[in-house]
């Protein structure tokens, strides 16, 4: 299993005008983006997002197909194609989390970055991803 080369953006990044952000990112993200709270359930719950475009499917922070290196890159984009899921066993949330992966973003291409060596052990590339997932 390999990840695309560094700098490759997830498919949703170019076609989104807003990206979710967490509370811990507010200080860094607000320097580059307007932050707003949106609701998809008629105002019952709100989620913070960074606005990256003014029109639908517009991201003004892309340069030559990559995220502008001069601005903060939200963790939601950095952690892609991975996310963490809570494991529930007999109705009880467990301490261990499940790492999920967006299969379409993984590649077998030789120029991709290996996540595991020939013996199945994680490579150095996995360490920062693991840390980000735990913090996110």
Per-residue model confidence (pLDDT) at position 40: 94
Per-residue model confidence (pLDDT) at position 104: 80
Rounded to two decimals, the pTM is 0.80
pLDDT in tens, the chain (136 residues): 677 666 678 888 889 999 999 999 999 999 999 999 999 999 999 999 999 999 999 999 998 888 998 999 999 998 888 888 999 999 999 998 899 988 887 777 777 788 888 898 988 888 888 888 888 7
List the one residue out of 18, 17, 30, 91 whose CA is nearest residue 58: 17
- Cα distances (Å, whole numbers) of residue 104 to 17, 29, 32, 84: 22, 28, 30, 17
- The single-letter DSSP state of residue 43 is T
């Amino acid at each position: 299993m390999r990840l695309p080369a560094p700098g490759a953006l997830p498919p949703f990044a170019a076609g989104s005008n807003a990206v979710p952000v967490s509370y811990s990112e507010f200080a860094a993200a607000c320097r580059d983006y307007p932050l707003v709270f949106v609701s998809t359930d008629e105002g019952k719950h709100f989620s913070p997002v960074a606005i990256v475009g003014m029109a639908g499917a517009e991201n003004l922070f892309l340069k030559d197909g990559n995220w502008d290196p001069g601005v903060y890159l939200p963790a939601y984009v950095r952690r892609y194609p991975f996310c963490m899921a809570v494991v529930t066993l007999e109705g009880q949330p467990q301490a261990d989390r499940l790492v999920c992966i967006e299969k379409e973003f993984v590649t077998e291409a030789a120029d991709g970055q290996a996540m595991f060596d020939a013996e199945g052990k994680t490579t150095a590339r996995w360490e920062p991803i693991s840390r980000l997932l735990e913090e996110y």
